[in-house]
A and B are shown apart, each in its own frame.
Chain A
Amino acid sequence: MSENLRRVVKDGLWDQNVVLSQMLALCPAMAVTTSGTNGLGMGLATTAVLVAANMLVAMIRHTVSSQVRIPVFVVLIATLVTVVDMAMNAWLHDLYKVLGLFIALIVCNCAILGRAEAFAVKSSVLAAVVDGLAMGLGFTGALTAIGLIRELLGAGTLFAQASNLLGPSFAFLEMQIPDYGGALLMILPPGGFAVLGFLLAGKRTLERRLQARADKAAGRAVGVTA
């Protein structure tokens, strides 16, 4: 894997994480993350759309003039979302009932049009697909993390109803803390905002510490050579 692609992957998963760094797509990140399973399902559905949209946009970027690119992208994305929506309705019906409207709303998820505009329209097909996958998985990771924390604090369970999404063989993921009443607030919208806020603060603190450590190491190395 070339250096560029490695950079793309790292950006998508961590450095430019859709939710935790770009602060995009906060509507689904707040609305559906009442459990880890919902977050995972929403994230994977968005990833599928994101990869396909990035690929198609990169393929047609030379034929579509820049004046009409936005309507074309929107039509592409809307088509892909409809496909995912119908597919989930057919094969993951229980999860579809939970996520419901939010699957259709992927069409106006700013992250997807954002990646098409910011990356895919300027990149090769391979790089666009890798970017879509990395961004999508970063999004999935953030949504699953928010969902798991809210679910754990709010209901005392982890991956409740995971078998709806992943099939009966993944029922072992479902855990529950015995005798825990749950803090209802975490399931409600304020809990989502609070968890996101603490995650953002945590990520920034972590990055600052890592940077400080890297600076220190670099300084020492310079000191040794000088």
Chain B
Amino acid sequence: MNSATRTVKPLVDKVASPHAHGGNTVTRTMFRVQLALLPATACGFWLFGWQAFFLWLLTILSCLGFEALALKMMGRGRIRRSLGDGSALLTGWLLAMSLPPWAPWWVAVVGGFIAIIAGKQVFGGVGQNVFNPAMVARVALLVSFPLPLTQWVTPLPLMTLPAPGFVDSLHVFLTSLPPPDAMASASLLGFSKTELARGIDLLHALGGAPAPLVSWLGARPGSLGESASLLILVGGVYLLGKGIITWHTPLAVLLGLALPAAIGHAVDPARYLSVSAHLLSGAAMLGAFFIATDYVTSPNTGAGQVLFGVGVGLLTWVIRSYGGYPEGMAFAVLLMNALTPVIDRFIKPRILGRDRRGRPLTIPESTA
């Protein structure tokens, strides 16, 4: 045996790789993502009151319930263990973050059904789904029930005088009453779209807006994941630091959204919103850090993720600027999810021991 074709005697015979395990689990990853969502969620509860908490809780319970039901119906054992991996909980959490905080209770239940049954389990459960389950549910709910899904409220922080109390909130939640007129409001994207549609340009429209529409601190109408955009950013940075996500997707999404926004705003500020409005509105931050980075539905390679992210950002801007709906992040993510297999087909990771074209690497001559 010459030195150029050395073989290493395997440590353990007849056991397939991997031989070492880093100790990471699905459960731990899911838990860390939930931890990263916590600041923004808590801030959302404070801004929008008990209503938002009930919606969040019921969405998660609904997702867990349908997950258990689907597993039981399909005769898969280990229901408790599958529920315990936290993936259904995270799906519910992300869905709740994207809903209007005062949505009625049945939105949460139907959303859980669509996300878990139609978005995940029919494809074969965790790791098998083609589309992001939370976004499937978000889009299906938006298309099915346009009215309750576009009713936003002005934030009335908890413990302040006009905020409804626990019992009142529960009553409104369960009876599916629309938000009181004094609280009903529009999100920035929705407001600007309506004003443009009735022929008022943005320079005038945003001057006379009913509530502060852009606020760095998040006290403005929107979903839980929209209002506290900066806290979402903090959570995203935590995920980056922990190595749960890489920089490729989030940066690409934000750039894909910011660049066309900057160009558009520079050319015609009366027609196109500014970069900060785009980045802080809608699901931009949540989508960039928490939704587009989903392992299952995004490409495997860094280059693929950059392509995926730019596509998401660009499509979001296009839908927001020219589409019929004010917000386009969910649609953009689903469209790019559909392209993920194609991206993965053309941009493949390098196989260990081979070059990018699949030819074996030449092993350098050993000096020994």
Contact = CB atoms under 8 A, between A and B. Distances in A.
Interface of A: 181, 183-186, 188, 190, 194, 197, 201
B118 A181 contact: no
Interface string B112-156: 000000100010000000000000000010011111000000000
A197 B122 contact: yes
B144 A185 contact: yes
Contacts of B122: 197, 201
A201 B146 CA distance: 29
Contacts of A194: 118
B145 A181 contact: yes
A188 B143 contact: yes
Nearest to A182: B144
B126 to A, nearest CB: 19
Which label, helix, strand, loop or mixed, suits the secondary structure of the B interface?
Answer: helix
A181 B143 contact: no
A183 B144 contact: yes
Among A181, A188, A197, A201, find the residue whose CB has the most chain B CB atoms closer than 10 A: A181
Contacts of A197: 122
Contacts of A190: 140
Which label, helix, strand, loop or mixed, suits the secondary structure of the A interface?
Answer: helix
> Which 6 residue pairs of A and B lie closest in terms of their CB atoms, listed nearest first?
A183-B144, A185-B144, A185-B143, A184-B144, A185-B140, A184-B143
Nearest to B143: A185
A188 B146 CA distance: 14
Nearest to B148: A181
Interface of B: 110, 118, 122, 140, 143-147
Among B122, B140, B144, find the residue whose CB has the most chain A CB atoms closer than 10 A: B144
B144 A186 contact: yes
A197 B122 CA distance: 9
A194 B144 CA distance: 14
Contacts of B146: 184
Nearest to A153: B144
A13 to B, nearest CB: 26
A121 B280 CA distance: 67
Contacts of A201: 122
B288 to A, nearest CB: 26
A47 to B, nearest CB: 31
A188 B140 CA distance: 11
A145 B143 CA distance: 23
A184 B145 contact: yes
Among B118, B122, B140, find the residue whose CB has the most chain A CB atoms closer than 10 A: B140
A181 B147 contact: yes
A61 B146 CA distance: 56
Contacts of A188: 143
Given A184-B145, A185-B143, A185-B144, 15 more contacts: A181-B145, A181-B147, A183-B110, A183-B144, A183-B145, A184-B143, A184-B144, A184-B146, A185-B140, A186-B144, A188-B143, A190-B140, A194-B118, A197-B122, A201-B122
A210 to B, nearest CB: 16
Nearest to A187: B144
Nearest to A154: B144
A12 to B, nearest CB: 28
Nearest to B110: A183
Nearest to A201: B122
A188 B122 CA distance: 20
Contacts of A184: 143-146
18 contacts: A181-B145, A181-B147, A183-B110, A183-B144, A183-B145, A184-B143, A184-B144, A184-B145, A184-B146, A185-B140, A185-B143, A185-B144, A186-B144, A188-B143, A190-B140, A194-B118, A197-B122, A201-B122
A184 B146 CA distance: 9
Contacts of B110: 183
Contacts of B143: 184-185, 188
Nearest to A185: B144
B274 to A, nearest CB: 33
Nearest to A184: B144
A181 B147 CA distance: 10
A77 B140 CA distance: 40
A183 B143 CA distance: 8
A188 B143 CA distance: 9
Among A194, A197, A201, find the residue whose CB has the most chain B CB atoms closer than 10 A: A194
A201 B117 CA distance: 13
Contacts of B144: 183-186
A197 B123 CA distance: 12
A2 B122 CA distance: 41
A183 B111 CA distance: 12
Nearest to B142: A185
Nearest to A186: B144
B142 to A, nearest CB: 9
A190 B136 CA distance: 12
A118 B110 CA distance: 43
A133 to B, nearest CB: 34
A197 B118 CA distance: 10
B71 to A, nearest CB: 15
A183 B109 CA distance: 14
Contacts of A185: 140, 143-144
A11 to B, nearest CB: 28
A186 B144 CA distance: 8
A11 B140 CA distance: 36
A201 B118 CA distance: 12
A154 to B, nearest CB: 8
B367 to A, nearest CB: 62
